[in-house]
Amino acid sequence: MRYLLLLLFFVGCSNIQAPEQSDLQLPEKSNLQVPKQSSIGEEIYKDRCVACHGENGEKLALGKSEAIGGWDKEKTEKVFEGYLNNTYGKELKALMKMQIGHMSKERLVQLAEYISTLSGKE
């Protein structure tokens, strides 16, 4: 009787098949792409700055600015401030002031942040 129970036990177990590995297909890595999140800074830049400063901040805007891509965040923030209170700028500073005049401080910080991530090269 004992043996029979033991036998039943084993038979029972053998029915609990572990799923074969091939059943456990994980999605391939390439399917797990998380969409690259674009920041607000990136959105504003692409919307309002790219035409003159280039996608990577590599252009000399209207031939007058430096290439701003990769500038330190703090530097860019100071420059924005300077344009806004007329203490910074060259011939076309009024034009640049117009570009950022209506923006909140928070947005300018986000823009400066994004600009710091740009390569500054074609």
Contacting positions for ligand HEC (CB under 6 A): 48-49, 51-53, 61-62, 64-66, 68, 76, 79, 89-93, 95-96, 99-100, 111
- Closer to ligand HEC at the Cβ: 66 or 122? 66
Report in angstroms how near the CB of residue 24 gets to ligand HEC at its nearest.
Answer: 49
Q: Which amino acid is at 98?
A: M
| Greatest extent of the chain over all pairs of C-alpha atoms, in Å | 102
Please give the C-alpha separations between residue 61 and each of 10, 51, 108, 110, 121, in angstroms, as whole numbers.
Answer: 79, 8, 18, 20, 14
CB nearer to ligand HEC: give 56 or 100: 100
Identity at 96, one-letter amino acid code: M
Task: Report, in Å, the least distance between residue 76 CB and ligand HEC.
Answer: 5
